Each structure stands twice: as C-alpha cells, then as structure tokens.
Structure 1
C-alpha cells in the first residue's frame, strides 16, 4: 500500500483552500484520508503571505514510515525545513552534460 502526503481541495470556486492529508495513493482527491496533518491557503493575505499550518511531529512520523509527498507538498515541506531539497532528474542530467564539456 503506497501512502502519499497530498492536498485535498476545499473551499469554493476561485477561493481554494487545501487540507494536507495522508492518504492511500489509489484513492480519490477528496476521499476520506488516513489522517489530516495540516492546512494550506494559497491565496496571499494583505501582507502577501500564504498560510501554512502543519503538525510537524505527524509529518516527520509519516515521512519516516515511508509516505511519499506529492510535488506540491514536497515544495511546502522544503519551505518548512522538514525535508532537504532533492535535485530533480532534469537537474542531474544537466549537470552530467555540463561535466562532459
């Protein structure tokens, strides 16, 4: 069973609000998750900040157990210093080509 940390969309049209959830990879986007571990509001407030609330202990637990974050959640976790920034495959290929020159 592959477990993913991903976003579940809530809110209304043109006003998205996401719950950061742990769910089975084969279930639907808004199906019942295993656990809700945070929220994310992508719309900036008056100061221009986007709101991210995370339960750090549970995120660390799920990452150590082997849950795989989606690309968007991975970016959020890197910003929160819960994950190191991993190089993308295209970055590795570009570095190899640069070394050959």
Structure 2
C-alpha cells in the first residue's frame, strides 16, 4: 500500500482549512485517511505559529514506513527541518519570449549604430580642430 502525506480540505466555502493526513494514494482528497498528523490554516498570517501545526513524531514515524509527502507538505516539512526540499531551478523561465528577444536585439543594434555614429562624428569634430591649432 503506497502512502502519501497530503492535505485534506475542510472548512466552508471561501474559508479553507486543511488537515495534514496520511492516506492511501488511491483514496480521494477529502476521503478516507489513516492518521491525522497536523493542520494548516492559510487564513492566518504567515508569521503565526497556529498557521502550520505538525506532529513531528508521527510524521517521522510515517516517513520511516515509506510515506511520501506531496509538494506542499514537503514545504512545511522543510520549514520545520524534517525534510529537505530539492531546489527547482529553471533559469529559462525568467527570459522574455522569442519576439521580445528579437525586439531587444534590434534595439541593441540601433543603439550600437547610434553610438558608432556619435563616436565617428566626435572624431571628425576633433580632427579639424587639431589641424587648425597646428597651423
């Protein structure tokens, strides 16, 4: 039997409250569970101690028996120091799209051409001034 440590939703409409439970992977989200090991109230402020409550001993017991936490529960366990969450790094996510990159490249080319033209004009302006002072 494969076990998960996951959230089971409770509370009324637009007022969520979650229990952190040990459940069989085949059981429905809010259905049958084996053990309740904590709770999560997203309506409380993030710095509140009541926001996430964990029964550390029971969670360690179930992890030893092979229960796998879901992503959200793994965040809670990582914050509590019970498990480590691997870093999810996607460096390409922050890059702009293809068309935006093309526009940026065109703009960069125009700026380089303008800078080259300005440098050329400055060089031409300095050259006659130097010749006139030399005479």
TM-score clears 0.5? yes
**Partner Cα distance (1:80, 1:63) in 2:** 15
Once residues 59 and 47 of structure 2 are traced to their aligned partners in structure 1, the CA distance between those partners, rounded to angstroms, is: 26
> C-alpha separation between the residues in 2 aligned to 1:32 and 1:77?
22
CA distance, structure 2, for counterparts of residue 10 and residue 78 of structure 1: 23
> After TM superposition, what 4+ stretches of structure 1 lie above 6 angstroms from structure 2?
none
Number of residue pairs the alignment of both structures matches: 90
- Determine the structure 2 residue equivalent to 1:70: 70
TM-score, scaled to structure 1: 0.80
Report the structure, 1 or 2, having the larger strand content: 1
Please report how far the alpha carbon of residue 48 of structure 1 lies from its aligned counterpart in structure 2 after TM superposition. 5.1
What is residue 2 of structure 2 aligned with on the other side? 2
Alignment of 1:1-80 (within 5 A): 1-45=1-45, 49=48, 51-80=51-80
* Structure of higher CA gyration radius: 2
1:85, 1:29 → 2: CA distance?
Answer: 23
In structure 2, the residue corresponding to 1:78 is in which secondary structure? helix
C-alpha distance in 2, partners of 1:25/1:87? 25
Gaps of 5+ in 2: 92-135
Taking structure 2 as the reference length, what is the TM-score of the superposition?
A: 0.61
Q: Helix, strand or coil: the match of 2:64?
A: helix
